[in-house]
Amino acid sequence: MRNPLSAIIQCADEITTGLEGYRDLDLSSASIPSDLLANIIDSAETISLCAEHQSRIIKDVLTMSKIDSGMLQISPTSFHVVDSIKSMLKMFERELRADDFSWKVVLHESFEKYGIEKVICDPSRVAQIFINILTNVSWNDDVM
């Protein structure tokens, strides 16, 4: 299930990236109308967003299956909190920008006060929790 979705996401991203450079060009003499180009880019971005969302659903289902069968493994390790959070937000960057949502990673003052750079936990499980929370948030003024 993951491999086909990964291919869809990669192809949609390549289409979007390849066509983005043409968006601001004067296309009056080109054979592709600018509104058609914009629609193609928008469609590729939508494909990518939908595939990424489907991928998150698949991961959630697989995790629930592991929990039910008692096969979920927790692997604590030391990792950088800020880098991990930035990486997780990167997955939502397109969605956040599409909704004209700005964000900034701000750590609680206690991180600096106590010199915390790394934490020990299972980074993949923390990422999963963070992603689930972000996926379930309604990006509107009522939430923030």
Q: Which helix (H) or strand (E) holds 82?
A: helix 81-91
Residue range 88-94: average pLDDT? 75
Highest mean pLDDT among 15-19, 35-39, 51-55, 118-122: 118-122
- Residue 23 confidence (pLDDT): 65
Band (pLDDT 50/70/90 cuts) for residue 109 is: very high
92-105 as b/e: b if 16+ CB within 10 A = beebbeeeeeeeee
Task: Please state the pTM of the whole predicted model.
Answer: 0.50
Phi, psi angle pair for 4, to nearest 5°: -60, -40
Amino acid in the structure at residue 133: I
Contact 51/12 with Cβ under 8 angstroms? yes
In tens, the pLDDT along 63-84 reads: 888 888 988 788 899 988 888 8
| DSSP string computed for 4-20 | HHHHHHHHHHHHHHHHH
